[in-house]
């Protein structure tokens, strides 16, 4: 049995459950990402896995098409067929269609929001920022900054998974200096700036906005994970009994 491969990109308030995704604890948990920039954790397929389809409340499933024609990594109908629940991040009405589809399939719908790091908001209080991002939906990041009370003086959007060039890094630093703005980006973007000396100045001066995914009904999320634990444990114990009987 392959060990789970975790790729944490965000943090969960119930993260202690996700942290227990190891073979010895018999916990298997999978988050399928629908909008390209809300990855939480990825684990291999297994009968004990609990699979969540995550969508942004503002974008929903967009035009319903897969990349590059649309925002999805796989058809929404197929993902819903494999999912154990739908997670909707935000409060807009753009996901009404996929919510209705999920409920028609009897899937629980979990609502959540991104809570920005209060420390960064305090650090940047009273000033303005130049926000830049190379993710699937930069506007979502800019809106999160505004909701956190951070005054956004300018924004710069780049393609998803963008690799910044030295020229772009210099232009961002020059613009921020000229306009008296602090530089702010996503944690994912800041990671892509590290390790290249030509981008070191931008990396050193850019603040990364950390966010935590907070569930409105955290108990419902925990219950879903605990169901995965129980299913995996039951399967493991059954396999052990069969093996013992053969011996």
Give the model's pLDDT for residue 168: 98
C-alpha span between 219 and 42 (Å, rounded): 21
For residue 68, whether the previous peptide bond is cis, meaning omega lies within 30 degrees of 0, is yes
Tokens of 134: 């190379």
Please state whether beta strands 182-186 and 206-209 pair in parallel, antiparallel, or not at all (unpaired): parallel
Tell me how crowded residue 81 is: count the other CB atoms within 10 A of its CB. 11
Nearest to residue 189, comparing CAs of 208, 165, 171? 208
The CATH number of the domain covering residues in 118-209: 3.40.50
C-alpha span between 10 and 20 (Å, rounded): 16
C-alpha span between 32 and 214 (Å, rounded): 17
pTM of the predicted model as reported, rounded to 2 decimal places? 0.71
C-alpha span between 230 and 192 (Å, rounded): 38
* Percent composition of the chain: helix, strand, coil (DSSP 3-state, to 5): 40, 25, 35
Q: What is the pLDDT along the chain (247 residues), one digit of tens a residue?
A: 333 333 333 344 333 334 333 333 333 344 433 333 333 333 444 455 567 788 888 888 888 888 778 777 778 788 788 788 888 888 888 889 999 999 999 999 999 888 888 888 899 888 999 999 998 889 989 988 998 899 999 999 999 889 999 999 999 999 999 999 999 999 989 999 998 999 999 999 999 998 887 888 888 887 877 776 677 667 666 665 655 666 6
Please state the domain extents for the chain: 11-114+213-246, 118-209
Half-sphere exposure of 95 toward its Cβ, with a 13 Å CA cutoff?
A: 25
Q: Is 102 helix (H, G, I), strand (E, B) or coil?
A: helix
Residues 233, 234, 237, 238: what is their CA dihedral angle, to the nearest 10 degrees?
A: -150
With 0-12 / 13-18 / 19 or more C-beta atoms within 10 angstroms meaning exposed / middle / buried, residue 174 is exposed
- CB-based contacts of 240: which residues, under 8 Å, 6+ apart? none
């Amino acid at each position: 049995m392959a060990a789970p491969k975790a790729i944490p990109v965000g943090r969960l308030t119930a993260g202690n459950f996700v942290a227990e995704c190891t073979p010895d604890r018999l916990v298997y948990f999978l988050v399928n990402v629908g909008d390209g920039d809300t990855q939480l954790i990825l684990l291999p397929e297994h009968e004990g896995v609990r699979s969540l389809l995550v969508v942004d409340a503002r974008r929903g499933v967009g035009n319903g098409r897969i990349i590059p024609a649309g925002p999805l990594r796989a058809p929404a109908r197929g993902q819903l067929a494999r999912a154990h629940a739908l997670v909707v991040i935000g409060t807009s009405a753009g996901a009404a269609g996929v919510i209705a589809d999920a409920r028609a399939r009897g899937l629980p719908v979990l609502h959540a929001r991104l809570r920005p790091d209060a420390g960064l908001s305090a650090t940047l209080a009273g000033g303005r920022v130049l926000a830049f991002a190379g993710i699937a939906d930069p506007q979502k990041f800019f809106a999160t900054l505004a909701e956190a009370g951070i005054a956004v003086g300018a924004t710069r959007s780049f393609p998803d998974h963008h690799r910044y060039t030295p020229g772009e890094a210099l232009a961002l630093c020059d613009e921020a200096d000229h306009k008296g703005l602090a530089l702010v980006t996503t944690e994912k973007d800041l990671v892509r700036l590290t390790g290249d000396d030509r981008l070191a100045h931008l990396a050193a001066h850019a603040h990364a906005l950390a966010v935590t995914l907070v569930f409105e009904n955290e108990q419902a999320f925990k219950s879903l994970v605990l169901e995965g634990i129980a299913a995996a444990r039951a399967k493991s114990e059954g396999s052990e009994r069969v093996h013992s009987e053969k011996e």
